[in-house]
A = this chain, B = another copy of it.
Amino acid sequence: RVNGERLWASLMELAQIGATPKGGVCRLALTDLDRQGRDLVTRWAREAGMGVTIDKIGNGFMRRAGRNNQLPPIMTGSHIDTQPTGGKFDGNYGVLAGIEVVRTLNAHGIETEAPIEVAFWTNEEGSRFVPVMMGSGVFAKAFTLEHAYAATDTEGRTVRGELERIGYIGEQEPGEHPIGAYFETHIEQGPVLEDNDKTIGVVSGVLGIRWYDCTVTGMEAHAGPTPMALRKDALQVASQLMQEVVACARRHRPHGRGTVGMVQVHPNSRNVIPGRVKFSIDLRNATCADCDSMDQDIRAVAARLSAETGLPIGIDLVSSYPAQCFHSDCVDAVRRAAAKLGYPHMPVVSGAGHDAVYMARLAPAGMVFIPCKDGISHNEIEDAKPEHITAGCNVLLHAMLERARV
């Protein structure tokens, strides 16, 4: 079993770097604070006897040798960058749980057949540089290194320049690094485990995500002198479509999700009928076929609304992440570990994207979820219980040992 107090202490120490007054963390990718975080984590890894490799996109691989170093490593990991008003656990937990697994093996003098590796992936959050899950995406060849290098923050600084500046641009070609299996522990970022009073979520896969920009075009007019019957009110049509986004998700149970998170009204004046409304749509579901079905559904509804009202509605797909099932070997390894350790557990899907999604394209992969308070993350008040932190790490340990063979 892992040392839960040591793991908790490491989490709290890392959370000092970029700590916010409200108890959260602001450690944006490739900032000086990110460098300090990386320096601390790699120092801990070296103290645990691990070798450290950095690749060209700044992903870090911390390796504990096995008996047979020709075998591909059994890997775990996550990210240490945070949202601007992020918490202490998102990502950080997955990396430090990996370090704790190695510390535990060291403490008990346990050797594994395959090497063990702990990875931290560059810029998972995507807050400072788009796209999200950048490091693992380049590693899995979802997009090119050049594309990632060219990404800029709001002040025009590039990923490449910032990697060089903080000294984390390595020699290794991303992806030229074999993986035997990949596990990632993460807080759930949702309320399902808490709601069901379970300690461990055995993650079967990750929902596919479709991001759209939607624009309804009407005609600006004065709110007073324009009779109701002669209006082309873009917000009235947009707000109907916003309702339909949720209705579409409900028509696609059990995994359908539909969210409008961002709205921009033009000209946004109290006594002017809106002439144009732009808003985001986020649709998710468990299979690509289900995502396609939601796509067709919302486009059909928009076409009907547009025909009924005479107002043009544009729906543009801006990003798409395919649904990803995890490998049954890894899912089973997580379930068996949770059962053996006596933790209440349940199968769950991940509604959010994670680095594990890209790893699953390269090797058998799986994830371990633990509850977070009120399901809240991407928030300074994000919180998790020490006993859940420990439990998730114990499950990781046993799942990895099953795959790495003692």
Residues of A within 8 A of B (CB): 188-192, 195, 207, 209, 211, 220-228, 230, 233, 235-236, 239-240, 242-243, 246, 249-250, 256-263, 265, 268-274, 280, 282, 284, 350-353, 375-379
A42 to chain B, nearest CB (A): 29
A235 to B195, CA, bound (A): 24
- B261 near A223: Cβ-Cβ < 8 Å: yes
A358 to chain B, nearest CB (A): 16
Name the one of B223, B256, B378 contacting A222, with C-beta atoms under 8 angstroms. B378
Give the copy number.
2
Given A239-B239, A242-B239, A282-B270, A189 contacting B222 (CB threshold 8 A): yes
- B228 near A375: Cβ-Cβ < 8 Å: no
Name the one of B190, B222, B269, B280 contacting A224, with C-beta atoms under 8 angstroms. B190
User: What residues of B have a CB within 8 angstroms of the CB of A284 in the complex?
Assistant: 223-224
Q: Which residue of B lies closest to A190 (CB)?
A: B225
A379 to B269, CA, bound (A): 13
- B263 near A223: Cβ-Cβ < 8 Å: no
- A261 near B269: Cβ-Cβ < 8 Å: yes
Given A220-B379, A351-B222, A353-B224, A235 contacting B263 (CB threshold 8 A): yes
A116 to B335, CA, bound (A): 92
User: What residues of B have a CB within 8 angstroms of the CB of A272 in the complex?
Assistant: 259, 261, 378
User: What residues of B have a CB within 8 angstroms of the CB of A263 in the complex?
Assistant: 235, 263, 265, 268
What are 26 A-B pairs with beta-carbon distances under 8 A?
A: A189-B225, A190-B224, A191-B221, A191-B227, A209-B224, A220-B376, A220-B379, A222-B375, A222-B378, A223-B257, A223-B282, A223-B284, A224-B282, A225-B350, A225-B351, A228-B246, A228-B249, A228-B257, A230-B375, A236-B242, A239-B240, A239-B260, A260-B274, A261-B269, A263-B268, A272-B378
